[in-house]
Chain A
Amino acid sequence: QVQLVESGGGVVQPGGSLRLSCAASGFIFDTYTMHWVRQAPGKGLEWVALLSHDELYEYYTDSVRGRFTISRDNSQNTLSLELKNLRPEDTALYYCARNGGHSRWSWLDTWGQGTQVTVSS
């Protein structure tokens, strides 16, 4: 079945870095645009970034642009998110999610369980 499994979260000091990974299985990974979405404790969902299946286009929400980098390795069915210059407000559960279709703009039809990032001194 379609599955997304995130890893790499942890506790980091402000200004620090982390690299999150998402292992995909059960579908043809290199045909789907992929996303990261986060949810701060007790708060709503915030879309973070997307990367097209062919890596030709990537987008970020304003608050992370220039600090976060989304990437993928289609040979390993893995999506990554590199987080730099972390701030306390980046503390959240980070979800990996799949595009619901093969068109450029699509809903999110499959979500992982999430990996927790905590930024604290």
Chain B
Amino acid sequence: DLQMTQSPSSLSASVGDRVTITCRASQGISNYLAWYQQKPGKVPKVLIYGASTLQSGVPSRFSGSGSGTDFTLTISSLQPEDVATYYCQKYNSAPYTFGQGTKLEI
């Protein structure tokens, strides 16, 4: 099955920093890629779908890019409320594999 690999597994950044998380698919998935945010003890929430489309209500400091096998989630100016684990997920076909997650700390 196709594998989704995120990097880094964890990172620490300061408020106001630009943060980038990458996700690599072992095979091409076009733009069938979503990013989710899961805050501690909370339910996952979709941030980005179609690799670059911002879900309604998500702050504009979040953005996504990429196509094929390489994708990026960027937070343009890190805020304290962005502390969470971030997951990519491919959905071009089943199984809908998730990346292993990136834990973001301030």
Contact = CB atoms under 8 A, between A and B. Distances in A.
Main secondary structure of the interface of A (DSSP, over half): strand
B87 A44 contact: yes
Contact of A47 (B55, B97, B100, B101): B97
A111 B98 CA distance: 15
A59 B87 contact: no
A59 B50 CA distance: 21
A95 B87 CA distance: 15
B98 to A, nearest CB: 5
Interface string B19-37: 0000000000000101010
A114 B43 contact: yes
B15 to A, nearest CB: 26
Nearest to B97: A47
A46 to B, nearest CB: 7
Given A59-B94, A61-B95, A105-B91, A45 B101 contact: yes
A100 B62 CA distance: 19
A50 interface: yes
A114 B95 CA distance: 20
Contact of A44 (B32, B94, B98): B98
B46 interface: yes
B43 A45 contact: no
A44 B100 contact: yes
B89 interface: yes
Nearest to B99: A44
B106 to A, nearest CB: 21
Interface string A85-121: 0000000000100001000011111011110000000
B49 interface: yes
Given A62-B95, A111-B45, 6 more contacts: A47-B98, A59-B94, A100-B34, A105-B93, A106-B91, A113-B43
